[in-house]
Amino acid sequence: MWTVSGSARATTPRRVAMLSVHTSPLDQPGTGDAGGMNVYVAELAKQLARLDVEVEIFTRATTSELPPVVEVAPGVHVRHVMAGPYGDLSKADLAAQLCAFATGVLRAEAGRKPGWYDVVHSHYWLSGQVGWLATDRWGVPLVHSMHTMAKVKNLALAAGDVPEPRAREVGEEQVVDAAHRIVANTDDEARQLSVLYGADPDKVATVRPGVDLSVFTPGSRRAARAALGLGHDDVVLLFAGRIQPLKAPDVLVRAAARLVAEAPALRTRLVVPIVGGPSGTGMDRPGELMRLARELRVDDVVEFYPPVDQPTLAQWYRAADLTVVPSYSESFGLVALESQACGTPVVASAVGGLRTAVRDDHSGLLVDGHDPVVWSRALGSLVTDAARLRRLRAGAARHAASFGWETTAARTLEVYAEACERRRAQLFAEVMCP
């Protein structure tokens, strides 16, 4: 139902169809295609529900073990749409299943009263293609979140990584043109949408992602280390996330090798946990990072752990001296925000959304480029300066405290209302000037 209130006569949606074709909010982040977007979709939906907005999340069915509809929170349901065989499909293969997925989405709406959904919010370009069709059929606005952009990734490829195909770039351009509103995580992403994709600046809205401040909280470093089997005086440099060239975990491994080469005594205390699983082009060489650690003779320092749930991940953040995020590109970087919310500073690449997620020399450090020599110096300068590290820990917690999901959801709801007004004006113009 659309409601009009206040002098601005804002249209407030009450039912949202959220599309997440290639990954489900029920999937474990940190492996395959599951990552920050999963967290984003799930947390945004929950907070919208708390604002009395019903959210149905459409995603592809990958197993017969889950029912067609799963309630993940009051007012939030995940619908599993049959589109292709069960099991994981690469993003390249998913493009062939968009017609089947769109059919499932349209059928779900057909079983409702006319005008059931007020807004479609698509996540990632594959979902945007389906959302484009659904909104055209239903006469409601399309709000789109890119999450990552092919043109941005292709401008900052890791050595040996495979560029995103031209077909994806074209698909993204189409979705940007079709959407009534586009959600950018940062002002930098908003600028990229305009410069690289020709997006009308007036329909791009910057909405910062949030962090679950009830899960990711400061706590006892000693207790967290004891729970994870780490020594209380270890020097812990954490990488958390998907293992793929884009995320550049090899930069941390190479930097760790330089640290122990320059300070051999550090070897007995240095621990580099890699918490996550292979993803993307990293699936082609799943053991590459382990081989690199052996070649650099730091396989006694680098330790590999599978993806973990959020409470356990929070323990890893609390246990670490620093969380390292050396990505080549990031639309935002939720890992950086989660770590800081736990009171652990972040050393991150000075790229994309990380320049917003991390406040340089206040909640962590931003590093230009991916030279392991530069990274080892940055990391070494912090782990040997206890006073500076304490200052950054306090700054990290303060910085992250302003990124609650409640704020993200409230601003997103405003964007939905703006999209409804834009769509209504568009429909009026079509009627008046056919």
Query: Over the chain, what is the mean pLDDT?
Result: 91
Q: pLDDT at residue 120 above 50?
A: yes
The answer to whether residue 7 is domain-embedded is no
- Residue 193 within a domain: yes
pLDDT the model gives residue 12 = 82
Same domain, residue pair 71 and 28? yes
Residue 215 lies in a domain: no
Alpha carbon distance 105, 129 (integer Å): 12
Q: 186 and 244 share a domain? A: no
Domain count, the chain: 2
CA dihedral 60→37→175→280, nearest 10 degrees, is -80
Are residues 360 and 383 located together in one domain of the fold? yes
β pairing state of 69-73 and 270-275: unpaired
In the annotated binding site, the residues are 22, 28-29, 33-38, 91, 124, 148, 168, 242, 247, 308, 317-318, 320, 330, 338, 344
DSSP 169-214: HHHHHHHHHH-SEEEESSHHHHHHHHHHH---GGGEEE----B-TT
| Percent of the chain's residues with pLDDT above 90 | 79
Q: What is the CATH number of the domain that holds 241?
A: 3.40.50.2000
What is the span of the domain harbouring residue 160?
15-210+405-432
Sheet with 302-305: list strands edge to edge: 302-305, 270-275, 235-240, 322-325, 346-349, 364-367
DSSP string, 341-399: HTT--EEEESSTTHHHHS-BTTTEEEE-S--HHHHHHHHHHHHT-HHHHHHHHHHHHHH
Residue 430 pLDDT greater than 70, yes or no: no
User: Percentage helix, strand, coil, to 5, in the chain?
Assistant: 45, 20, 35
Residue 3: pLDDT band (50, 70, 90) is: very low
Please tell me whether residues 139 and 257 are part of one structural domain: no
Q: Do 363 and 416 lie in a common domain?
A: no
Claim to verify: residue 141 and residue 65 sit in the same structural domain: yes
- Beta-strand ranges (E) seen in 7-68 are 10-12, 15-19, 54-60
Is 10 within the bounds of a domain? no
> Can you give the pLDDT at residue 428?
61
Binding site membership for UDP-N-acetyl-alpha-D-glucosamine: which residues?
Answer: 28-29, 36, 242, 247, 308, 330, 338
Q: Are residues 93 and 190 in the same domain?
A: yes
**107 and 19 share a domain?**
yes
- Answer yes or no: do 113 and 242 share one domain: no
| pLDDT bracket for residue 17 (50, 70, 90) | very high
Q: Which residues are documented as binding site for Mg(2+)? A: 317-318, 320, 344
Query: Residues at the annotated binding site for 1D-myo-inositol 3-phosphate?
Result: 22, 33-38, 91, 124, 148, 168
Answer for the pair 32, 88: CB distance below 8 angstroms, yes or no: yes
- Any domain includes 5: no
Do 135 and 233 belong to one domain? no
- Kindly tell me if the per-residue pLDDT of 284 is higher than 60: no
pLDDT tens digits for range 413-426: 999 999 998 888 77
% of the chain with per-residue pLDDT over 70: 92
In terms of Cα–Cα distance, which of 389, 363, 367, 385 is closest to 376?
367
Range in 90-94, 222-226, 227-231, 427-431 with the lowest mean pLDDT: 427-431
- Residue 39 shares a structural domain with residue 165: yes
Residue 64 makes CB contacts below 8 A (sequence gap 6+) with 86
- The model carries a pTM of 0.90
Answer yes or no: is 4 within a domain. Answer: no
pLDDT in tens, 364-406: 999 999 999 999 999 999 999 999 999 999 999 999 999 999 9
Would you say residue 320 lies in a domain?
Answer: yes
Render the burial of 110-146: b for 16+ CB within 10 Å, e for the rest. eeeeeebbbbbbbbbbbbbbbbbbbbeebebbbbbbb
pLDDT, residue 32, reads 59
Residue 99 CA: distances (Å) to CA of 94, 126, 232, 349: 10, 11, 54, 38
pLDDT band, residue 4 (cuts 50/70/90):
very low
Model pLDDT, residue 279: 65
**Is 333 domain-assigned?**
yes
Say yes or no: 132 and 113 in one domain: yes
Tell me the average pLDDT across 307-319.
96
- The span from the CA of 142 to the CA of 16, in Å, is 10
